[in-house]
Amino acid sequence: MKIKYCKRSLEQGLKPVYKRIKKKFPEVKQKKTGCLGQCKSCKSGCFVMIKSQPLVAASPDKLYKAIKKVVG
């Protein structure tokens, strides 16, 4: 499984999520990308791309919980 992060999202609070996923799920590949072409998702909240689908949440903690459900 691969999780893609927009660099803008990482700068706006997703670095702790990235680190927590890396620590808890070392088998999951994570990639930082300049832009994922999901500007509406990026502006509306915290988001990542999993299996070419955006996963959006209102806060980094909620996004982490949503990622855990998909990954774990």
pLDDT digits (tens, 9 = 90+) for 27-44: 999 999 988 888 777 777
Q: Where are the domains of the chain?
A: 2-71
The predicted model gives 45-61 an average pLDDT of 91
From residue 63, alpha-carbon distances to 15, 48 in Å are 12, 8
- Single pTM value for the model: 0.87
Instruction: Show Cβ contacts of residue 23 under 8 Å, excluding neighbours closer than 6 positions.
Output: none
Owner of token pair 């915290």: 46
